[in-house]
Structure formats: structure tokens, C-alpha cells
Chains A and B, each alone.
Chain A
Amino acid sequence: MIRPRRAFLQLLALGSGALAACRAKAPAPLPSFLGAPISPYGERSPFVHAVRQASDRTRTPEQASSLTPLADTYGIITPSSLHFERHHSGVPKIDPAQHRLMIHGMVERPLVLTMEELQRLPSQSRIHFVECSGNSGNGWAPTPRSTVQGTHGLTSCSEWTGVKLSLLLDEVGVQPGASWILAEGADPAKMTRSVPLAKALDDAMVVYAQNGEPIRPEQGFPIRLFLPGFEGNANIKWLRRLKVVDKPYETREETSKYTDLMADGSARQFTLMMDAKSVVTHPSGGQRLSGPGFHEIAGIAWTGRGRVTRVEVSIDGGKTWQDASLQEPVLPRAHTRFRLPWEWDGAETVVASRVTDETGYVQPSREALVAVRGLNSNYHNNMIQAWKVKADGTVEYAVI
């Protein structure tokens, strides 16, 4: 019934579209034809193209990472489809009806839970970032990346819903003497990390939802361990087992990887906390300002130690700094959006941001970091990131 009518209307629309194309730069005609019908699962506009980008070290796509296009995200929430990825043996396809979580080890009552049982328990939703400790690690080497996606795209922020781990541990009854928890995933690599019991009892969660829908397969469907403010790798995806123990298990990912080599040859281990970091996303590398005049400087700041309390922005290469405004909500262990109005005079300049968190920690310069840690530590680089705005409006990576 409807179909012939719609076809006729579309034909009409096509005709008027062709007519409009003939008239150069005419204003868009009033909307006069039917749009697309309702759909079961929404898609973004065909005119929006921002995508995750594979990190440039990718050899095996199952053992790789992809980066969030930070310059093309707004506010503090990262769309689930653009959340960065880091997999060690691909994304497993897990049927939640078959999946189980086992909690055992130094507990009074070992327990196996179905996903339905887990979701019956009292839950909470919290907005937190997840960041790979290798994020902005290119800062250790003098190898500029062209965009903020390339430098800082291994952080994303979502609303996570799940059950507090402390509640689950209360159900199993942790025995005296326990001090760590071994968490294991159901991916083929069975990713395993040791987590301090204190963190598990504090704010850790077992989460099953992200941004209002079941957690994405790339983020651990049906469940992942969530450790607010701790390095991404320890937030075990596809979680299948928690073993309460009295010492770290010295797994591959906490010995040969995710340890920070210092200049003297010693390596820091269990560097789980993500230090405060900020980055300007506009203007940032690869963008082009249309010309002198008003531009809003915007970016994100975050810290694993709690709340962001201040973000300063420099528009003269770090000589002077001024406070940016922090957009509410300013949440603990979450991306915080900062903004600063800017009249660009058209001259070449360098912009940068510097965050302070509620512990008083101030984001360091590259120079200060290197002085303490040398150049070999790979992980946990949170140096001030700068961007050079050139007279033609193009923006490039810069170090101050």
C-alpha cells in the first residue's frame, strides 16, 4: 500500500534534487520527502566517518590495539563502538548462557555464578575511564604521531554497570592472610593478572553493561573486571575466574610486560595506578583551523587518583598558563572535559594543557619524566602534550 506512494515521492524528490544541483549554491530546499523508516538498531549518519585506528605496530590483528578518535568525540562519554581495543588473542564469542564466573582460593565458600545470577545481585552504574598504560607511550621516543588519536587514543570513558567485587567477596568469605586476587579471562590467551585485595575490596566491580547496553564483545562480553583508575590490562575482560591468594602470581603480563624499565636496568612492577593526564583535542594534530578568529580550545583530563581539580592551558608554548573551565560533571576516575575560549590572531603558536588532580599531583613535562625514569620504560608516560598551530591553520605534534 505504502510502497508505490513512497517510490513516487522519492522520484519527485530526485527530480527536485537534480533541479537544486543545477542552481549553484542555492540554499537547501525545505525538507519535502520522506526520510528513512524506523530501524531495530540505530546507525550513525552516513556523513560521519570517525573510526578506530589500528596502532602502527600491528602485525597480527588478533593481538593488537585500536585507538579512539578523541578529536571526534564530544563531552566525556566515548561511544561503545569507538572504545579503544587491546586484545591478546582475539575477541572470543561467548554465549552468556554458557559462561560462568568461579570464585575460589582462600575463601570459606567457593562459588560458581551464572550470568543471570550475577545480574540479580545489587548493582551500580559508574562513569570511569579505562586507559592502557601504553597510552601516549610514544612520548618516550622522539617519534611524533600526527594526531591525538595516535598519541592518546588508548583511553576511553564509559558508564559501566555491574556488581561491586566487595559484595561478591563477602559472599564467598575471604580467609585471613589473603592479600591478592588472581583474575583470569576466557579469551584463548586466558589473560591473567594479580590484583591487590585492597583494590578488590575498595571500588572494584564485575561489570556486565557499558553505556546502557550489555558490554561490547571487544570490552569483555559478558563480563569484565573493572578496577577504576588502574591500567587497562588489569581490567580482565571475558572474566571467568577469580582466585583469592596470598601473593601475586607473577604472570607474564605483570613481569615481562607492563613493567617499567628504568635507566639503571631495574624495573618497576605492579605500576597499576594511572597518573593524571590531559590533552588538548582541539586544536590537535591533523586538524586545520579555518582562519584567525574565535576557536574554542577543548580537551580531556583524567586521573586514576580521583578527581581532576584544575586544568591549565598555555597558548604560548608553555611560557604562561591560564585556567580552563571544567565542564560538569567532574567525576572521580573519569574523563573531564575542559574548555577555554580563544581568539587566534593567525600567528604560529603552540598550545598545551596541564592537569592537577585532587592529591595535588601536577602533570609533568617530558623533561621532568625523563629525568626520573630515563627513556626505556614504555608505559605510564603522562607528559604534557603540545600542538603547534601554524600560520596556515594546520596543526602538528610538538614537544615543550
Chain B
Amino acid sequence: MRSSRSATKTQRHEEHVGLVSCLRAVVAVSILAGGAFVVEAQSPHFKVGRTPTADEIKAWDIAVGPDGRELPPGRGTVARGKVVYVEQCARCHGATAVEGPEMPLVGGKGSLNTAKPLKTIGSYWPYATTLFDYINRAMPFDRPTVMSADDVYAVTGFLLNLNGIIADQDVMDAKTLPAVRMPNRGGFVPDPRPDVGPPPKAKAKGGA
């Protein structure tokens, strides 16, 4: 139901956009005569595609990077997050996010350099924005995108709180979330490979 409805919406949007870009091409040509800024409707060499509208880009551009620039408006408390967690997450991640059947989301602090490392949000994840981004795009597993931005902020905050990273009264929003410092933020290093065997011929320039 949901997908067929959104497909129709997309089609309508496409038609609308097509019309707009036709109009824009006409406008562009007339502006070109005056030497003003031109929005091209198609690629310059092979003349394919069309220019997406600003709204279209905004609707697609859901990825949230570490600086949080793309975070949507909204806010969520830890208390609300607990409610959302019970409704949306607990059936796979367990009542307190350690029981599973999915991997624990809490705990493992100090375990990374032991024989039994436990990689959780608290012990391993380097950025809090990743948590928002992933929940927002992919959770709950069988019904992604059902949660509002407020609820994603809230459940993100709840999980950070469960891991002892933010306080009970902290509120997560576009400003506070990117400022959260994750415990394992400094735990990642660049790829040093090749790291075994003889030095590779291609890089044999001397020095390190």
C-alpha cells in the first residue's frame, strides 16, 4: 500500500519536475542572452538527464555526516526515547538492549583489546550522528522510515543515555547530537596494508 502510493507520488512529481525543467530551459536560454547565471537542463557532453530541483535534492539527501549539517528539524528526550524503544526496537534488541536476539547495543566498555571484544554503540561507535543516520534510514528492520524525526532523535538519545554517554535530562536535536563525544572516537586508524610479507614493488621508493 505504502510503496504503491509513494510510487504514484513520485510519478506525479516526475511529471511536475519535467514541466518545470522545460520551463527552466526556456528561461535559461532567455537569461543566457543577457549573460546571467544559467541552470543547465542536461549534461554538457552527452546531453542526458535533467537538473534536480532543490526540493528534490533535499528529499533524497538523508545522509547525516559527522558535522550534522543534514540533520532535520526536531528534538527528542531520553524519556520519550524509552517509549519509542519499547514500541519499535525491543522485540529484536531486547528489553534493555542487551538481550537480543540482535547484537547488544550497550556494554563492552574496555573489552576491545581483550580476547572477547564486544562492539556496541558505547564501546565502539565513533560518531553519535551515525546512530541517528542509521536508525533514520534503516530501522526498524522490517518497517524503516515509519519513525518521525522527533522519535529518531529521542531513541538515539535513549541509546546514548543507556550507554552512559548523555545525561537523563539531555535533549537531542540538530545542535546537540553532533556535539556528543563518543567514548571510542579516537579508536580508529587508517589502513596500513600491505602489512605482512615483503614490501610491495610498487611502493619501494625507500623510507617508510
On A, residues with C-beta under 8 Å from B are: 59-60, 63, 88-89, 98, 102, 104, 109-114, 117-118, 120-121, 170-173, 182, 184, 188-190, 192, 240-241, 243, 245, 247-252, 255-256, 259, 261-273, 275, 305, 358-362, 364, 368-369, 372-373, 375-376, 380
Contact = CB atoms under 8 A, between A and B. Distances in A.
Interface in B159-208: 187-204
A266 B117 CA distance: 11
A125 B202 CA distance: 27
B95 interface: no
Interface in B44-73: 44-46, 48-52, 56-57, 60-66
A222 B197 CA distance: 40
B65 A172 contact: no
A242 to B, nearest CB: 11
A104 B57 contact: yes
B190 to A, nearest CB: 7
A268 B194 contact: no
Interface of B: 7, 10-11, 40, 43-46, 48-52, 56-57, 60-66, 101, 112-113, 115, 117, 119, 121, 124-127, 129-130, 133-134, 137-138, 141, 144, 187-204
A59 B101 contact: yes
Contact of A110 (B57, B198, B199): B57
Contact of A172 (B11, B43, B130, B193): B43
Contact of B194 (A104, A245, A361): A361
A261 B119 CA distance: 10
Nearest to B196: A364
Contacts of B64: 249
Contact of B117 (A89, A189, A261): A261
Given A359-B200, A362-B198, A60 B48 contact: no
A261 B112 contact: yes
A263 B113 contact: yes
25 contacts: A60-B141, A88-B138, A109-B51, A111-B43, A111-B50, A111-B51, A113-B49, A117-B48, A170-B45, A171-B46, A251-B130, A255-B127, A262-B189, A265-B113, A266-B189, A268-B188, A268-B193, A269-B188, A275-B193, A359-B203, A360-B200, A360-B202, A368-B196, A368-B197, A376-B115
Contact of A111 (B52, B192, B196): B52
A104 B10 CA distance: 19
Given A109-B44, A117-B48, A171-B43, A256 B130 contact: yes
A182 B141 CA distance: 22
B63 A273 contact: no
A269 B190 contact: yes
Contact of A267 (B46, B189, B199): B189
A359 B115 CA distance: 34
B195 A112 contact: no
Given A110-B51, A113-B48, 9 more contacts: A111-B51, A121-B46, A170-B45, A190-B144, A251-B63, A265-B187, A269-B188, A269-B190, A373-B195
B9 to A, nearest CB: 11
Contact of B187 (A121, A241, A266): A266
A250 B127 contact: yes
Closest 9 CB pairs of A and B: A265-B113, A265-B112, A171-B43, A360-B201, A359-B200, A252-B134, A189-B138, A117-B48, A364-B196
Most chain A Cβ neighbours within 10 Å, of B40, B65, B112, B129: B65
A109 to B, nearest CB: 5
A262 B191 CA distance: 11
Contacts of A268: 188-193
